[in-house]
Structure 1
Amino acid sequence: MKRIFEFMKRNYKIILFVTVISAVLWSFMPSKKVEDPEKDKLLLELLSFILEKGHYSPIAMDDDFSKDVYTKYIDGVDPTKRFFLQSDIDEFSKYQDKIDDLIRDKDLTFFDLTNNRLLKRIEESRAIYDEILSKPFDFSKEETINVDYDHLPYVKNEKELKDRWRKQLKLSVLSTVTDKEKLEEEKFKKDSTYEKKPFKVLEKEARESSEKSLNDYFNFIQKELDRNDWFSIFLNSIVERFDPHTFYFSPDDKDKFDISMSGKFEGIGARLQKKNDAVEVSELISGGPAWRGKELEAGDVILKVGQADEEPLDIAGMRLDDVVKKIKGPKGTEVRLTVKKVDGTIEVISIIRDEVETEETFAKSSTVEKDGKKFGIIYLPKFYISFDNKAERDAFKDVALEIERLKEQGVQGIVMDLRGNGGGSLETVVNMTGLFIKEGPVVQVKSANRKQDVLFDKDPQVQWDGPLVVMVDNFSASASEIFAAAIQDYKRGIVIGSKHTYGKGTVQNVIDLNQFVRGNSYGDLGALKTTTQKFYRINGGSTQREGVLSDVVLPDRFGYLDMGERDEKYALPWDKIDPADYQEVFNTFEPIINRSKARVAQNAQFKLIDENAKWIFERKDDNEFDLNLKKYEKEEEKTDAILKKFKPISNYTNHLAFESLPYEVEAVAKDTVLQEKRNRWHEEMQKDVYIDEALNVLSDIKTNLYSQKTASVNQKKNKFSRVD
């Protein structure tokens, strides 16, 4: 299999399965180009067969399965229940227990019916909101709106539909106009000669703003989305029933996924956005060919795209994704952009495409001094790797390099900041753990109905043996949890952060669907990311659903909410297996953990954050809003009074000075964009009470357990599966 990695190749059942499905599908491939519905039927057959034979925990495609898929799909395309009528739902519902049969029969009747009806209702909705927003709202009327759409019924007729739209839009305008009133009041306080706009004017501006937003949204779904996009939503309603991390990638989505994993792509290095019917340059990626050329600028509107000496193509009305495809291309090739500059002049800009690195994907580090000790912070947003070219940069190599640079600066402890890190490559996280431990097991991986495999760090050398703190939050997932769990089980460092991490303890493989079809005349079929294994800590416990529990829990705004895998309806269950054989590095961190807990309990900032978290939890079920201006403003005043109490959370500063490493100081001197990014990161850390406590813990570890040592590391060469 083209995209199954070496670790999965050891699974003979998967190999057998691939052989069987390939033989089956080759036998009925058409010899000529067919319409998209035939491609859709093939996708249904491919995905259902792969999931039944290759998923870690396949489920029966029966009537219960059908009902779940039906509900997920309908909710997915009309989440606020402002398109479909009850009569539509009555018509659709006859299929709710038959989707399994339709999949087996490659029958698209249900999808075609619902999709055609949805597009019709969307078109009708434009006239509804145009009419509603054409005249002022009556905010003196006594009425409320319930925004708990999960439990609201569908409207019975067009009259009720218009009223639902009216209330939704009225709430939107009411929210906007009250915000505008506050801004006007602030302007008047700063300048007593300022003439405040009357409510009538503000209300009109708010309606115009709402209409513009809706027009942009509807232009996107009507002009930028085609049948393939809507069918992808239907397919994912099917595949995500197996578990939340099984996902169908359309060809475009697959390209974006590969870029997000590697942090690289070939093109001009510009981010584009649709603005009305035009395509505008929103940002130039630092270091990219467009940035280096200094001719293309943010705000330029692209009119035409030409390939080298070919006749340029007018892109007016073209989908944004299609424009991106025209501009992207192989390294070394030329693209000519006809652009309208901000001053109205028209220019033709030639750019030679090159490899572009999305810098914000990659690891970065900083030094900071606290209480006379110098520490290092490494922020890693993802466990990235290029699966197509292992010679390219990956998170393991980059973090190893940052550690060496920090050691050169004489740091006495390192914080690995994995907050918000959603995962990435299993190969990378195994290698990276080896930077901090001697050789030994890192994680256990188990395929369905097979004994677990233990994945080892086989390098006895340690690159960093000094004090280590791992920072996590509710959004640290998958590979992040493997790293945090291994460091915790080895008692190699202390994990601090949210009560628990996300709780994703499953391994996915991305399977290229095109490999199953000989002589494919349909075009690119995309790929399926499916769960093939579960991973377990070396202590035998799973991180699935439960996540990694922090040694020191730091209050955060989500502290009382159920978040992560445990909140996913179809997530795989928690379980445990036998532990691996490993030796703890230290006997205990208990005294240091207790000192940190005591500091946190006495910290006024953490107390305020915890109080804010309780307030957020208490408000989570508030779904009823007044649409009467006076009552709405009264509730806003109450909320504002409470929010003022929590304002010090955002105003906090730890008074620490964070500095770039010498190599980066030289780089930012030549790159103002990079300089701005680093300055912003350092400013964010100065407002970060969590970083402050992480450094306190490092200092305690240094004082209690360590004498600073140095070590080196050899590059790891093991190959494993992908985790994301």
Structure 2
Amino acid sequence: MKRNRIFLVILLVFAMVSCGFAKKTFDDPEKDKTLVDLISYVLGRWHFDPQDINDDFSENVYNDFMEAVDPMKRYFLASDVEEFSQYKHKIDDEIREPGVQFFSLVYDRLVKRMEEAKVYQEEILASPFDFTVNETINRDYEKMTFAKDVSELKERWRKELKFSTLANYDIKLEVQENKKKEDAAYEIKDDETLEKEARKSTAKTYVEFFDLMDDLERKDWFSIYINTIVEEFDPHTSYLAPQDKDRFDMSMSGTLEGIGARLQKRTEGAKIFEVISGGPAWRSKKIEAGDVILKVAQEGEEPVDIVGMRLDDAVKLIKGPKGTKVTLTIKKVDGSIEVITIKRDLVEIEETYAKSAVVKKGKRTFGIINLPKFYVNFEDYNKRNAASDVKQELERLKEQGMEGLVLDLRNNGGGSLKTVVDMAGFFIKDGPIVQVKSSVDGKEILNDEDSRIQWDGPLVILVNELSASASEILAAALQDYKRAIVIGSKQTYGKGTVQNIVDLNRFVRGGDGNVGALKLTTQKFYRINGGSTQLEGVKSDVVVVDKYSFIDVGEKDQENPLPWDRIDAADYDLWDGYIDYEETIKRSKQRMANNAQLKLIEENAKWIKNRRDDNEYPLNYAAYKKESDADEEYAKRFKAIADYDTKLTFTSLPYEELLMKKDSSLQSKRQAWHEDLAKDVYVEEAINVLGDIQINNIKKKKRSVVRG
């Protein structure tokens, strides 16, 4: 098979790179150069569309790195940039003959300028701001040039800090006025006191910001630099530093091994801002959001003080293999200190996974499945994955008498290719699902070879501009078969490329430590009709406006996307289960064209776009308040969007209702989801379409359908 040949190519590359880098160790001062050498070698031989490493490439890397390290132009001076520019057309030379002079120069200067910026903000915030002065701040940083001298740079900082303080002042003033309305005896603070408190809030924010910046080490900034290089090949090729690779695996599988808590960096330690439902910390009933971890001890070892420690390093100490124990010294919300021992376990991140609900419209019963991503465990496909979960939800919904299904792929950014091929097969008898083209092996057609059908009833797929990659494969395949009606944005995201994870540690013999991985674009995928979803995405059968309609969020709006193209269509037969497919689409379009809720959403989307494009803000409080009040008044007209009522009823499946008796947090999450669905005009129309679709019962009897 072609996939086996790809594996052989990987092994060949591994053998070649191992030989080429056998004497490098990644444990000496030259390791940055070696990493550049290794990554450029792999990119040049394995990327779907390798780029020429020339002066144009160098200039693009230069510009992107400057944008990445100082996007708001509040650190570097014009003289710094002039000095850096000597490397504008030399980075390609540094890649070919590994060198990191450009990076080292920029990094060292950035550290110096950040230390100076700390002093600026402390000096500026030591004195009161005058909110009666008529001045403005322009925050269109892309068009802004770098400051010509320190005086100009300080003035930029002054305006930024004043703008933040002005916002804090306005909030405090509003809170005070509301308290006075509730309690006539409440003592109003004078403007001077409120301004001082607002400056204090701003100072606290920036202390925390610089604390986070101080956590970033040279290796973190070097990862950013490496990514500006690899992203010149395409937007989805990226370098994953060791901690980023761990996060990627966790996000794709929806699982981690640890205590089950999300942490934030704080000066006093690692603050718990969420305890993950069902995890060890949650089961212990001894830890809650707001607690701060001060010390961490492994079994049989002395505790390690994590106050002031990098958050990533603290997390490494807290996480650990399933079954091991960790002892935490915790400052509770009430100020008391407790020492708590927890046995680590496998933690499932519930919001990663598919969830479903029963939908009632009058006497009719429908189902909805929300799929946030096409998740998978890369090490073991038989473990929990998107396809197996959706299959299970289908069976559960059928048991409730489901007459039609809504598959919600909105905001689903994609994931595993295998899960989407398996999932598409749940809705057709057999046939091609997607075509994949490799620069090495040419074209391959991925088929559903299982003749069983999990669901042969009416099917609607919901998408938006953020439905990408695997979501587009599924929507495109079922649209091409005319198996499903796609409702949503004018087009989906437009990501028609396939990435593989390459473990760079395997390419170096004799090296110590973890050097990370490369997420590499190796293939493009195509619809079974031959068209690519790259850039163009999937065009909805029924187009409806949403909040993203006037904002540039798609693949075509990214830097360096691969081009659109077409290949030959695969052989496939249209679905014969509907008798009024086109008529149903026509009726839906007519309803949507006259929908008052959608017209209001469109007006809101245009208003949001206009507000985003306005980069000039007043620093005079009277002008700021006038503009703010005008926005708030105009925004009231959009309150009806959140108050919309579809008159649909949503309930959880019986198995979830049993879980809710033990987990109140799950109950609150599902209740919130159901409340959102009940206000969702897109779901409402999807249910209308399901009600309109007429099944070809003669053909249906001839198909093999899985029941139960």
TM bracket (short chain):
over 0.9
Q: Kindly tell me the number of residue pairs found equivalent between the two proteins.
A: 705
What secondary structure sits across from 2:56 in the alignment? Answer: helix
Deviations 1:152-201 (A, max 9, x none): 11001110000011111222222332333344444444555544444333
Q: Does 1:387 align with 2:378?
A: yes
Aligned to 2:127: 135
Contact 2:456 2:705 in 1 (8 A): no
Q: 1:395 to 1:98 in 2, by over 3 A?
A: same
Contact 2:180 2:187 in 1 (8 A): yes
Aligned to 2:205: 213
Deviations 1:270-323 (A, max 9, x none): 112122231122222111112112222222222221111222222222111111
Deviations 1:101-150 (A, max 9, x none): 11222211111110011011111111111111222212222222211111
> 1:529 & 1:70 partners in 2: Cα distance?
22
Tell me which moved more, 426-435 or 588-597. 588-597
> 2:143 & 2:4 partners in 1: Cα distance?
43
What secondary structure sits across from 2:617 in the alignment? Answer: strand
> 1:678 & 1:196 partners in 2: Cα distance?
42
What secondary structure sits across from 1:677 in the alignment? Answer: helix
Q: 1:404 to 1:182 in 2, by over 3 A?
A: same
The offset of 1:631, in angstroms, is 2.1
Contact 1:84 1:154 in 2 (8 A): yes
Deviations 1:392-425 (A, max 9, x none): 1101000000000000000101110111111010
Tell me which moved more, 547-556 or 271-280. 271-280
What secondary structure sits across from 2:357 in the alignment? Answer: strand
Equivalent residues in 2 for 1:139-154, closer than 5 Å: 139-154=131-146
Q: Does 1:43 align with 2:35?
A: yes
Aligned to 1:285: 276
Q: 2:27 aligns with which of 28, 34, 41?
A: 34
Q: Does 1:582 align with 2:572?
A: yes
Deviations 1:503-562 (A, max 9, x none): 1000000000000111212x0010000100000000111111111111111111221233
> 2:472 & 2:216 partners in 1: Cα distance?
36
Tell me which moved more, 328-337 or 703-712. 703-712
Deviations 1:209-268 (A, max 9, x none): 11111111100111x211111100000010011100000000000001001011111111
Contact 1:421 1:477 in 2 (8 A): yes
| TM-score scaled by length of structure 1 | 0.94
AA aligned opposite 1:557 = K
Q: 1:16 aligns with which of 12, 19, 24?
A: 12
> 1:182 & 1:344 partners in 2: Cα distance?
30
What secondary structure sits across from 2:522 in the alignment? Answer: strand
Contact 1:466 1:707 in 2 (8 A): no
AA aligned opposite 1:217 = F
Q: Does 1:262 align with 2:253?
A: yes
Q: Does 1:568 align with 2:558?
A: yes
Contact 2:17 2:508 in 1 (8 A): no
> 1:628 & 1:353 partners in 2: Cα distance?
54
Equivalent residues in 2 for 1:491-570, closer than 5 Å: 491-521=482-512, 523-570=513-560
The offset of 1:588, in angstroms, is 6.0
> 1:70 & 1:714 partners in 2: Cα distance?
59
Q: 1:650 aligns with which of 642, 656, 662?
A: 642
Contact 2:462 2:487 in 1 (8 A): yes
The offset of 1:441, in angstroms, is 0.3
Q: 1:99 aligns with which of 82, 91, 116?
A: 91
Q: 1:7 aligns with which of 3, 10, 23?
A: 3
Q: 1:703 to 1:125 in 2, by over 3 A?
A: same
> 2:705 & 2:77 partners in 1: Cα distance?
66
What secondary structure sits across from 1:83 in the alignment? Answer: coil
Q: 1:696 to 1:184 in 2, by over 3 A?
A: farther
- Gaps (5+ residues) in structure 1? 716-724
Q: 2:220 aligns with which of 229, 232, 237?
A: 229
Q: 1:103 to 1:617 in 2, by over 3 A?
A: same
AA aligned opposite 1:545 = L
Aligned to 1:721: none
> 1:361 & 1:98 partners in 2: Cα distance?
43
AA aligned opposite 2:635 = L
Q: Does 1:344 align with 2:335?
A: yes
Contact 2:237 2:521 in 1 (8 A): yes
Contact 1:9 1:15 in 2 (8 A): no
Contact 2:542 2:588 in 1 (8 A): yes
Taking every aligned residue pair, what percent have the same amino acid on both sides? Answer: 55
AA aligned opposite 2:15 = T
Equivalent residues in 2 for 1:118-517, closer than 5 Å: 118-191=110-183, 194-222=186-214, 224-448=215-439, 450-517=441-508
Contact 2:24 2:34 in 1 (8 A): no
Tell me which moved more, 341-350 or 356-365. 341-350
What secondary structure sits across from 1:399 in the alignment? Answer: helix
The offset of 1:476, in angstroms, is 0.7
Aligned to 1:718: none
The offset of 1:8, in angstroms, is 6.3
Contact 2:6 2:440 in 1 (8 A): no
The offset of 1:702, in angstroms, is 4.7
The offset of 1:345, in angstroms, is 2.7
Deviations 1:353-398 (A, max 9, x none): 1111111111111001013211111011010010112221101000
Contact 2:534 2:562 in 1 (8 A): yes
Aligned to 2:72: 80
> 2:699 & 2:400 partners in 1: Cα distance?
17
AA aligned opposite 1:266 = E
| TM-score scaled by length of structure 2 | 0.96
Contact 1:504 1:545 in 2 (8 A): yes
Equivalent residues in 2 for 1:681-720, closer than 5 Å: 681-702=673-694
> 1:341 & 1:575 partners in 2: Cα distance?
58
Aligned to 2:584: 592
Contact 1:414 1:698 in 2 (8 A): yes
Q: Does 1:665 align with 2:670?
A: no
Q: 2:58 aligns with which of 66, 87, 95?
A: 66
Tell me which moved more, 86-95 or 311-320. 311-320
What secondary structure sits across from 1:252 in the alignment? Answer: helix
Root-mean-square deviation (Å): 2.1
Deviations 1:604-644 (A, max 9, x none): 11110111122233344322222222222222232222211
Aligned to 2:626: 634
> 1:558 & 1:238 partners in 2: Cα distance?
29
Q: 1:289 to 1:11 in 2, by over 3 A?
A: closer
Q: 1:25 aligns with which of 21, 37, 45?
A: 21
The offset of 1:706, in angstroms, is 9.8
Contact 1:415 1:471 in 2 (8 A): yes
The offset of 1:466, in angstroms, is 0.5
Equivalent residues in 2 for 1:584-623, closer than 5 Å: 584-586=574-576, 589-623=581-615
Contact 1:608 1:649 in 2 (8 A): yes
Q: 1:312 to 1:58 in 2, by over 3 A?
A: same
Q: 1:485 to 1:84 in 2, by over 3 A?
A: same
Equivalent residues in 2 for 1:105-124, closer than 5 Å: 105-124=97-116
Contact 1:507 1:534 in 2 (8 A): yes
AA aligned opposite 1:21 = V
Q: 1:87 to 1:165 in 2, by over 3 A?
A: same
Contact 1:466 1:708 in 2 (8 A): no
> 2:640 & 2:518 partners in 1: Cα distance?
46
